[in-house]
Amino acid sequence: MSAARGEAIEHFVAKWQRREPEMAQAEVFCPPPMRPRYRAWGSLLHELREAAFELSDPRVAEVKSQWWAEELLGLAEGRSRHPVTAPLAGTPADWPALVRALVALPAQPARPGDTAAALARFDVIAAAIAQAEAQVFDSTPGPRDADAVAVHLLLHRLPEGLAADDQAGLPMNLLARHGLTAAQVSAGQGEPLLRDWAGELLAALPPASSHPGLFRRLRGGFDRARLARLAAGRGFQPPGPFATLLRAWRLARQG
C-alpha cells in the first residue's frame, strides 16, 4: 500500500473506532500481520452499515450502496479504489455474495412484528458478512456467526436510529406491550421498552466463545457487554477502558 493510501485509511479507521472504541483497544490482541485487515475490515463494515441503514435520504443511501457494491465487485477482481478496501484486495472472500445481499436490502422494510422478524430482516446480509469475514481472516465461519452479525446490526442502530423511518427496527410487539409509539420512544420515553429490547437481543446473541474468528469473537463479546448495560438501564455507551481491555484479553485467549 502506498504511503498516501496508508494515511487516507486512517480517517476511516478513526471514524469506525469513534463508534466502536472497544475495537480500537482490542487491536493489540490481533496478530501484527493481520492488523491491516482488522482495521480495513472494521472500517469497511462501518461504511457499509452507514450506507445501508444510517443515511436519512433514501436516494443518497441508494447511490452510496450502489457505489460500494461496485467497489466490492472490483475487489473480486483484485481492484481497489477506496482506502479501506486496499488492504483487502487479493483476499479470497466471496465479495459477489456480499454485493447481492447489500443490493437486496429493501429501502423501506416492513415494521417487524417481533424480535425474530427483526433479526430475519438481516438473514441474508448477515450470512454474507460472516462468510466474507471468515475468508478475510483465513478463518472458519462459526455456525452462529451470522446470528451475531444480525444482533450487532440492530444494536448499533441505537440510539440514533430511533428517529429514522424504521425506528431502529424496534418490533411492534414491544411497542404494544409498553403502550408506546415509536415517536415517544424516540423522544426519550421508552427506557423500559429499550431495556426489554436489549434483553431480547441479548438472548439472541450467541456466546462469544462460539466464534472461531478473533474479530467476531471480540465484537460479539463487546456487544454482549453493551446489551447487558442497556438491559440494566445504564445507557448505550460501552463499559470503561479498563473493563474493555480486560474483556478483550479474555476474549482473545478463547481462540
Is residue 171 reached through a cis peptide bond, with omega within 30 degrees of 0 on the bond before it?
Answer: no
For residues 222 and 209, what is the distance between their CA atoms, to the nearest angstrom?
12
For residues 121 and 129, what is the distance between their CA atoms, to the nearest angstrom?
14
What interhelical angle do 214-231 and 191-204 show, nearest 10? 150
Counting other chains too, the contacts that 115-123 makes at CB distance below 8 Å and 24 or more residues apart are 115/171, 115/174, 115/197, 115/200, 115/201, 115/204, 117/171, 118/154, 118/169, 118/170, 118/171, 119/147, 119/150, 119/151, 119/154, 119/204, 121/169, 122/149, 122/150, 122/153, 122/154, 123/150
User: Is the confidence at residue 4, as pLDDT, over 80?
Assistant: no
Query: How many helices and strands (H and E) does the chain possess?
Result: 13, 0
Phi first, then psi: what are they for 164, rounded to 5°?
Answer: -80, 175
User: Is the confidence at residue 3, as pLDDT, over 60?
Assistant: no
For residues 221 and 22, what is the distance between their CA atoms, to the nearest angstrom?
10
pLDDT one-digit tens code per residue, 141-151: 999 999 999 99
The more confidently predicted of residues 121 and 5 is: 121
State the residue range of the domain holding 183. Answer: 3-253
Query: Which domain CATH number covers 159?
Result: 1.10.600.10
- Among 130, 186, 181, which residue's Cα sits nearest to residue 153? 130
pLDDT at 165: 80
pLDDT one-digit tens code per residue, 180-204: 988 888 888 889 999 999 999 999 9
Write out the three cell numbers for 49.
452499515
Phi first, then psi: what are they for 209, rounded to 5°?
Answer: -65, -10
Percent of the chain with pLDDT over 90: 79
Query: Average per-residue pLDDT in the chain?
Result: 93
**Residue 230 burial (10 A CB sphere; 0-12, 13-18, 19+):** buried
pLDDT at 108: 64
User: Is the confidence at residue 107, as pLDDT, over 70?
Assistant: no
For residues 118 and 231, what is the distance between their CA atoms, to the nearest angstrom?
18
Give how many domains the chain has, as a whole number.
1
User: For residues 117 and 171, is the Cβ–Cβ distance under 8 A?
Assistant: yes
pLDDT one-digit tens code per residue, 28-75: 999 999 999 999 999 999 999 999 888 878 888 889 999 999 999 999
CA dist 64 → 15, 49, 88, 204 (Å)? 17, 11, 19, 30
Write out the three cell numbers for 111.
415494521
